[in-house]
C-alpha cells in the first residue's frame, strides 16, 4: 500500500507540485444538472451536464478541482462552449469504493472571487463494476468487503450510492484513508454539509425492453418516469436540496408491495419477506406518529440482491436484503425508517438519534423497559470504545468540535445520541418531550441551542448543564459509584437509608438509585453532576440489603462499582 501511493506520487511529480497548494474544498457545488445514461448490459455510465460551483473560501480561486470515481474518465470540461485546460490525475482516496478518484484540475478562465460562481459544462464516462479495493487493501476479507461495497451497474442488478461510496457525480474533497481513524467519515461529513443546500436535477435514461421496463428507484424529491417509444426508459428527477441525502439509484426487475405509508420493492421469490416488512411498518406507524408526527410522503424500501449486503439508508429510503425474518427485527428496522419519514433534521444526532430512540421505544412497547435498556446496552459498547479512546488524551478544540451537536462519528450521532434522547425523556417526561419534538422545525434549527430551548419551553427544569456535558461538549461518560449507605431505624418497621453517590466521570446525569430489601425495592432519581457527589434519602419498611445506582439507562464508563451491600444491624 505504501509502495503504491509512492508510485502515484512519482508518476504525477509535475502536477503534484502545483497540487500541494490546491484548496480542494474551496468550492461548493451548488447546482447539478446532469443527463445520465446507464447501460446495464455494458455496466456503463455516461454523463453530460452543467455544474455551478461557488467559491466558499476566503480567497480568490483560479483553479477548480472536480473528482469522479477512478473507473470513470473525463471527456471534456468547458465553460460557455469554450474548452478549458485541465490536468487529469489519479488521486488516492478511500472516499470512493475503488480507493481512487479521477481528478480534473481545471484552470478557470477568470479568477473567482469569494462567494462568486462559475458554470462548467462537463462530460465523463466509464464503468461502475463491483470493486471493494478500499476495503480489501486494509485487510478486509473479500466476501465481507463485497457485501459492504456492493455498488455496481450490471444487467441483473444495479445499485449505486453517491458521495462516500461511488463518486458517480462530481465532488471535490481532500483525500481520506480508512487507515487514518475517522478521516473518511469526517471528509464525507464536510462534503455533505457543504452540499446541504445544493440542488440536483437528473435526466436519467436507460435502454429498455418495452415488454419489461426495469423499475428505477431514486431517493429524489420528485422523479416522474416514462417509457419512451425508442426503447428508452427515462426519469426526470429533482433533489430540491440535498440536505443529508446521498443521491442513489437502483434498477432491477422489482415487484412491489404498496401500502399507504410505504412501498416495499422486492426481487423474485421475496414476496413473503416484503409483505412481512410492510406489515411491520404499518404496525409501528401509531407509535411513530405519537412521538414524531405522521410520516410525510411514502417511505421506500428496496431489496438488495446479495443476501449478506449491508443495509443502506438515506432519509426514509432504505435498501436491505429482504429475507424472512423475526417480525420483531422487521419492526425494529421499520420503526427507524418510519421515524425518518416523519421527521428530518440537518443535525445527524437529532436525525439519526431520534430514529434509533424510536427503536428503543418500539422494544419497550413490545417487550418492556428491560428490552429497551438491553438494546441500548448493545449500542453502548459501540460508542464506549470511541469515548475511551478519547479520554486518554487532553480534550482539544478538535474534540470540542466532535461533540454530539456536530460530530461526524457514526457511533456517537447514532448510538450515543439514542441514549441522550432516552435520558432526556426520563428527565422531562414523555408528554413534555413529545411536545418539544412536535414543535421542532428543521429550517429553524440554526443554533446549537435551538433544541434545548424547545425542550425547556415544555418543562421547568434547567437543562443547560445536561446539554453542556452531553451535546455541546463531549465530556465523556459518567462513572457512578455508591460511596456510602447509612441505615437508621426510626420506628419499628421504618428505616431511613442515606446514600451518597459519587460521579468520577466528567459528564453529569440524572440516574436511578434503587434500594432492595426483603420482598421488594424502591427507586428514586438523583442528579449527580460530573466530578461531584449527591445524597439521597429513602424511607423503607424493611431493612435495606443493597443499593444500586444506574439500571443501564445512563451510559457509563465503569459499572463494576455500582452496587453496595448493606451489612450488619441498622443503627438505632
| Distance in Å, CB of 435 to Zn ion, minimum | 23
> In three state form, how does the secondary structure of 271-297 look?
HHHHHHHHHHHHHHHHHHHHHHCCCCC
Name the residue nearer to Zn ion (CB basis): 65 or 320.
Answer: 320
| Distance in Å, CB of 243 to Zn ion, minimum | 13
Name the residue nearer to Zn ion (CB basis): 382 or 527.
Answer: 382
Name the residue nearer to Zn ion (CB basis): 246 or 501.
Answer: 246
- Tell which phi-psi region holds residue 295, choosing left (phi > 0), alpha (psi between -120 and 50) or beta: beta
| Distance in Å, CB of 293 to Zn ion, minimum | 16
Q: Tell me the CA distances in angstroms from 395 to 408, 410, 486, 511, one per residue in order.
A: 17, 20, 37, 25
Question: Exactly one of 26, 72, 106, 355 binds Zn ion (CB under 5 A); which one?
Answer: 355
Residues 281-305 as b or e (16 or more Cβ within 10 Å = b): bebbbebbeebbbebeeebbbbbbe
Q: How far apart are CA 120 and CA 63, in angstroms?
A: 12
| Distance in Å, CB of 313 to Zn ion, minimum | 5
Candidate ranges 77-85, 211-219, 248-256, 355-363; the one touching Zn ion (CB under 5 A): 355-363
Q: Which of 218, 305, 308, 214 is nearest to 268 (CA)?
A: 305
Q: Tell me the CA distances in angstroms from 343 to 182, 415, 431, 541, one per residue in order.
A: 27, 18, 18, 47
Name the residue nearer to Zn ion (CB basis): 354 or 507.
Answer: 354
Candidate ranges 63-71, 350-358, 506-514, 548-556; the one touching Zn ion (CB under 5 A): 350-358
| Distance in Å, CB of 103 to Zn ion, minimum | 31
Name the residue nearer to Zn ion (CB basis): 350 or 540.
Answer: 350
Say if CB 311 and CB 287 are below 8 A apart: no
| Distance in Å, CB of 297 to Zn ion, minimum | 16
The cell for 370 is: 428491560
Element (H, E) at 460: none
Q: How far apart are CA 123 and CA 442, in angstroms?
A: 36
Residues 167-185 as b or e (16 or more Cβ within 10 Å = b): bbbbbbbbbbbbeeebbbb
Cell 470511541 maps to which residue? 386
Beta partners for residue 127, in sequence order: 44
Name the residue nearer to Zn ion (CB basis): 319 or 485.
Answer: 319
Element (H, E) at 24: none
Q: How far apart are CA 374 and CA 104, in angstroms?
A: 50
Cell 455496466 maps to which residue? 43
Name the residue nearer to Zn ion (CB basis): 51 or 262.
Answer: 262
Candidate ranges 118-126, 162-170, 252-260, 344-352; the one touching Zn ion (CB under 5 A): 344-352
| Distance in Å, CB of 312 to Zn ion, minimum | 10
Name the residue nearer to Zn ion (CB basis): 417 or 566.
Answer: 417
DSSP state of 157: -
| Distance in Å, CB of 418 to Zn ion, minimum | 11
Site for Zn ion, residues 299 to 318, rule: CB under 5 A: 313
Name the residue nearer to Zn ion (CB basis): 54 or 339.
Answer: 339
| Distance in Å, CB of 127 to Zn ion, minimum | 31
Candidate ranges 279-287, 345-353, 429-437, 460-468; the one touching Zn ion (CB under 5 A): 345-353
Query: Nearest-CB residue to Zn ion?
Result: 355
Name the residue nearer to Zn ion (CB basis): 351 or 503.
Answer: 351
Name the residue nearer to Zn ion (CB basis): 262 or 355.
Answer: 355
Name the residue nearer to Zn ion (CB basis): 301 or 503.
Answer: 301
Q: Tell me the CA distances in angstroms from 132 to 7, 77, 94, 128, 141, one per residue in order.
A: 21, 29, 10, 12, 10
Q: Kindly give, in sequence order, each residue whose CB lies less than 8 Å from that of residue 60, ignoring residues fewer than 6 positions away.
A: 111, 112, 113, 114
The edge-to-edge listing of strands for the beta sheet with 86-92 is 61-69, 100-112, 86-92
| Distance in Å, CB of 266 to Zn ion, minimum | 21
Angle at 483 between CA 477 and CA 484, to 5 degrees: 150
| Distance in Å, CB of 299 to Zn ion, minimum | 11
| Distance in Å, CB of 333 to Zn ion, minimum | 10
Candidate ranges 4-12, 166-174, 352-360, 365-373; the one touching Zn ion (CB under 5 A): 352-360
Instruction: State the number of binding residues for Zn ion (CB under 5 A).
Output: 3
Binding residues (CB under 5 A) for Zn ion: these are: 313, 352, 355
Amino acid at each position: 500500500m505504501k509502495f503504491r501511493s509512492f508510485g502515484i506520487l512519482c508518476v504525477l511529480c509535475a502536477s503534484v507540485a502545483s497540487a500541494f497548494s490546491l484548496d480542494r474544498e474551496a468550492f461548493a457545488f451548488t447546482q447539478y444538472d446532469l443527463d445520465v445514461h446507464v447501460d446495464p448490459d455494458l455496466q456503463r455510465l455516461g454523463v453530460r451536464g452543467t455544474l455551478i460551483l461557488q467559491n466558499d473560501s476566503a480567497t480568490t480561486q483560479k483553479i477548480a478541482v472536480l473528482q469522479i470515481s477512478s473507473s470513470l474518465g473525463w471527456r471534456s470540461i468547458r465553460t460557455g462552449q469554450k474548452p478549458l485546460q485541465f490536468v487529469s490525475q489519479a488521486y488516492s482516496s478511500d472516499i470512493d469504493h475503488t480507493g481512487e478518484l479521477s481528478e480534473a484540475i481545471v484552470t478557470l478562465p477568470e479568477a473567482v472571487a469569494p462567494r462568486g460562481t462559475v458554470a462548467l459544462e462537463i462530460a465523463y464516462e466509464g464503468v461502475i463494476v463491483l470493486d471493494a479495493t478500499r476495503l480489501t487493501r486494509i485487510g478486509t476479507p473479500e466476501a465481507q468487503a463485497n457485501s459492504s461495497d456492493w455498488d455496481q451497474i450490471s444487467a441483473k442488478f444495479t445499485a449505486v450510492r453517491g458521495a462516500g461510496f461511488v463518486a458517480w457525480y462530481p465532488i471535490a474533497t481532500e483525500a481520506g484513508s480508512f487507515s487514518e481513524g475517522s478521516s473518511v467519515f469526517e471528509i464525507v461529513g464536510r462534503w455533505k454539509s457543504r452540499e446541504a443546500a445544493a440542488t440536483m436535477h437528473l435526466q436519467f435514461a436507460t435502454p429498455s425492453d418495452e415488454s419489461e421496463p426495469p423499475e428505477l428507484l431514486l431517493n429524489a424529491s420528485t422523479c416522474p418516469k416514462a417509457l419512451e417509444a425508442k426503447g428508452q426508459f427515462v426519469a426526470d428527477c429533482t433533489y430540491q436540496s440535498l440536505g443529508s441525502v446521498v443521491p442513489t439509484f437502483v434498477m432491477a426487475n422489482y415487484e412491489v408491495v404498496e401500502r399507504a405509508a410505504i412501498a416495499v420493492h422486492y426481487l423474485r421469490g421475496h414476496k413473503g419477506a416484503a409483505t412481512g416488512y410492510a406489515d411491520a411498518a404499518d404496525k409501528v406507524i401509531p407509535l411513530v406518529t405519537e412521538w414524531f408526527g405522521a410520516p410525510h410522503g411514502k417511505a421506500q424500501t428496496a431489496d438488495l440482491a446479495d443476501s449478506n449486503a449491508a443495509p443502506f439508508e438515506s432519509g426514509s429510503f432504505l435498501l436491505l436484503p429482504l429475507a424472512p425474518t423475526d417480525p420483531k427485527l422487521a419492526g425494529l428496522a421499520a420503526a427507524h425508517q418510519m421515524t425518518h419519514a416523519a421527521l428530518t433534521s440537518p443535525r445527524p444526532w437529532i436525525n439519526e438519534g431520534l430514529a434509533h430512540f424510536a427503536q428503543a421505544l418500539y422494544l419497550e412497547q413490545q417487550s418492556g423497559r428491560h428490552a429497551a435498556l438491553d438494546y441500548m446496552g448493545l449500542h453502548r459498547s459501540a460508542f464506549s470504545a470511541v469515548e475511551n479512546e478519547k479520554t486518554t488524551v487532553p480534550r482539544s478544540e478538535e474534540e470540542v468540535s466532535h461533540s454530539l451537536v456536530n460530530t461526524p462519528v457514526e457511533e456517537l450521532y447514532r448510538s450515543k445520541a439514542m441514549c441522550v434522547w432516552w435520558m432526556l425523556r426520563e428527565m422531562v417526561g414523555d408528554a413534555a418531550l413529545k411536545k418539544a419534538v412536535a414543535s421542532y422545525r428543521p429550517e429553524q434549527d440554526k443554533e446549537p441551542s435551538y433544541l434545548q430551548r424547545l425542550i425547556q419551553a415544555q418543562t421547568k427544569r434547567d437543562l443547560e448543564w445536561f446539554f453542556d456535558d452531553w451535546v455541546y461538549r463531549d465530556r465523556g461518560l459518567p462513572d457512578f459509584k455508591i460511596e456510602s449507605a447509612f441505615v437508621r431505624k426510626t420506628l419499628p418497621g421504618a428505616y431511613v437509608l442515606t446514600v451518597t453517590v459519587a460521579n468520577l466521570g466528567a459528564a453529569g446525569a440524572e440516574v436511578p438509585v434503587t434500594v432492595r430489601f426483603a420482598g421488594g425495592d424502591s427507586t428514586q432519581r438523583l442528579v449527580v453532576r460530573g466530578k461531584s457527589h449527591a445524597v439521597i434519602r429513602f424511607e423503607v419498611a424493611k431493612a435495606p440489603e443493597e443499593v444500586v445506582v444506574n439500571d443501564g439507562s445512563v451510559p457509563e464508563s465503569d459499572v463494576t462499582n455500582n452496587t453496595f451491600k448493606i451489612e450488619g444491624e441498622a443503627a438505632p
